[in-house]
Amino acid sequence: MKNSKFAALILIVAVAFSSNAFAQKFKDLDKSPMDVSAFPSSYKESDKKVKVVYSRPQLNGRDVAKLAPNGEIWRTGANEAAEITFYYPAKIGNDVVKPGTYTLFTIPGNKGWTIILNSASNVWGAYTYNEELNIVKLEAEATKGKESLEAFSIVFEGEKNEAVMYMGWGETLVKLPITFMDKEKSKKLKGTKY
């Protein structure tokens, strides 16, 4: 009887300590959580043409110009630089971009923002930005939005092969038109892989 009580006591102590030994410690929600925006935007359409993964910094009473200064290269979000993946060839401005994943840098300005697609990958911030790796660099229209956005946001709107990527923060709204090529036609492009 003594042995069974001792064994039960040992078992209870072991169980009590083992639950603490295997307890997970999860971090709180990041101050600039990651988000994804894609086109087509509907979850019912799985054949996406483009997807952007980015972090969403918050203003918290600060000015956009302090967090994303005019004339300076910006990671287009927070933490890791934003990444944009094209699943179809896309025409942006006068450039055709092949399917692939690119780092999305921007240079904010008063009347327009410079949009940069760069071939660097796995980039933290804009500290290692290398202009020689630019694939596309063009100006996009920046206007004053109808509402002030606390969190930096990216959204796509459009139909079929015509989309507009909007980036908004504070009262700034940046508009980038994108035209996607038909998948069958794009297969015939030299260098396009599926």
Q: What is the pLDDT of residue 20?
A: 54
- Each as own residue / partner, the long-range contacts of residues 110-119 (CB below 8 Å, 24 or more positions apart, any chain) are 110/70, 110/142, 111/141, 111/142, 112/139, 112/140, 112/141, 112/142, 112/174, 113/139, 113/140, 113/142, 113/167, 113/174, 114/138, 114/139, 114/140, 115/139, 115/140, 115/174, 115/176, 116/73, 117/84, 117/92
Average pLDDT taken over every residue of the chain: 87
194 confidence band (pLDDT: 50, 70, 90): very low
Summarize pLDDT for 164-186 with one digit per residue, the tens: 999 999 999 999 999 999 766 65
Residue 93 in any domain: the answer is yes
Q: What is the pLDDT of residue 24?
A: 75
Summarize pLDDT for 117-157 with one digit per residue, the tens: 999 999 998 999 999 999 999 999 999 988 999 999 999 99
Residue 179 in any domain: the answer is yes
Residue ranges making up the domain that contains 58: 31-187
Distance CA 128, CA 126 (A): 6
Residue 103 in any domain: the answer is yes
Q: What is the pLDDT of residue 182?
A: 78
Summarize pLDDT for 63-115 with one digit per residue, the tens: 999 999 999 999 999 999 999 999 999 999 999 999 999 999 999 998 899 99
How many alpha carbons fall within 13 Å on the CB side of residue 11?
Answer: 6
* 3-state SS assignment for residue 178: strand
Q: What is the pLDDT of residue 8?
A: 64
Torsion sign over Cα 55, 58, 64, 69: negative
The count of structural domains within the chain is 1
Mean pLDDT in residue range 44-61: 94
Distance CA 104, CA 101 (A): 9
Residue 102 in any domain: the answer is yes
Residue 20 in any domain: the answer is no
Summarize pLDDT for 58-75 with one digit per residue, the tens: 999 999 999 999 999 999
Distance CA 158, CA 164 (A): 6
Residue 104 in any domain: the answer is yes
Residue 58 in any domain: the answer is yes
Residue 7 in any domain: the answer is no
DSSP 124: B
CA distance from start to end of the chain: 72
Distance CA 103, CA 119 (A): 6
Q: What is the pLDDT of residue 193?
A: 37
